Structure 1
């Protein structure tokens, strides 16, 4: 087995996480996971309330195309995406089973752990049995698509970074 270039894996995961965060946002525009009423205070906003983030920070926005966009919510979204993309990129070199199905199983594991386990346990979202089926479908398939993007992007970047070292 070839030696893993940890720096290249972290860089690849970071870039993949940013891009895949956009993929997941796009996915949620096509198949919104929550009803408008449930999205009035979405999970990132509710989590910030739960941990005591001041209202001024959690409601901070920037305006683009006459629409107010949530800065703190996006930081959580992209932070989550990038953190797990780095984990996937690095761990996949040491534990190849993580990359089964081009990230599908990893994505479903993340969805299950957070959307069915951690967030309901924290009361950030309703219990899994009380979430609409549309939410489960959107989030489960969205996590597969998100991880496919991470797999493709991080592998491509890692190959490019490490190929340059050998030339």
Structure 2
């Protein structure tokens, strides 16, 4: 078996498929975090996206900006970062997975876990955005690791189907 797929990559279709998958998977991850919240209310008063932006000098009045829906204050700035991260990695996964099948092993499970390890156990603790991995509660590790699996499997399923439909349609037109 070859390390690389032999079919040509349709970059436009891969970007559209990854973008669509990233939006859907971002919603799935938000839902996951409602069922298994990764952080205590106290630690979530300034969530990691807000903290990261504050580390870059963006004032709290911006990072904590909200909109009201159904009587609840919702952090729109956090959502921009959340969906930006989700769609960026979904697009990368779609493009890389179209060329290197190993990336898609087990429907993206390992890729999702690798993203969790890289960001939640490595990069963000090193930057001081979240506590060191050993100082994070077990519940956070469980929620985030499983959430990243569910997130990436969603990217895999949605992205593959959208890509298949887009490339099938473009083949019909040619």
Which of residues 5, 8, 15 is equivalent to 2:10? 5
Aligned counterparts of 2:65 and 2:138: Cα–Cα separation in 1: 31
Looking at structure 2, the residues matched to 67 and 94 of structure 1 have their Cα atoms a distance apart, in angstroms, of 44
* Aligned position for 1:133: 138
In the TM superposition, what is the alpha-carbon distance from 1:61 to its structure 2 partner? 1.1
Give the deviation of 1:18 after TM superposition.
0.6
Distance in 2 (CA, whole Å) between partners of 1:147 and 1:107 is 5
Equivalent residue runs for 1:36-75 within 5 Å: 36-75=41-80
- Give the structure-2-normalised TM-score: 0.94
Aligned to 2:148, the other structure's residue is in SS state helix
53-62 or 135-144, larger mean C-alpha shift: 53-62
SS in structure 2 at match of 1:63 = strand
Where structure 2 has 5 or more consecutive residues not aligned to the other structure, the ranges are 1-5
1:55 to partner: Cα distance: 2.6
- Size of the alignment, in residue pairs? 167
| 2:122 corresponds to 1:117 | yes
1:94 CA displacement: 1.5
- Take 1:148 and 1:60, find their aligned partners in 2: how far apart are those partners? 31
Please list every run of at least 4 consecutive aligned residues from structure 1 whose deviation after the TM superposition is greater than 3 angstroms.
none
Gaps of 5+ in 1: none
Which of 148, 155, 158 is the matching residue for 2:153?
148
- 1:56 shift after superposition: 2.9
Alpha-carbon offset, residue 54 of structure 1: 2.4
Query: In structure 1, how many angstroms separate the alpha carbons of the residues matched to 2:76 and 2:44?
Result: 16
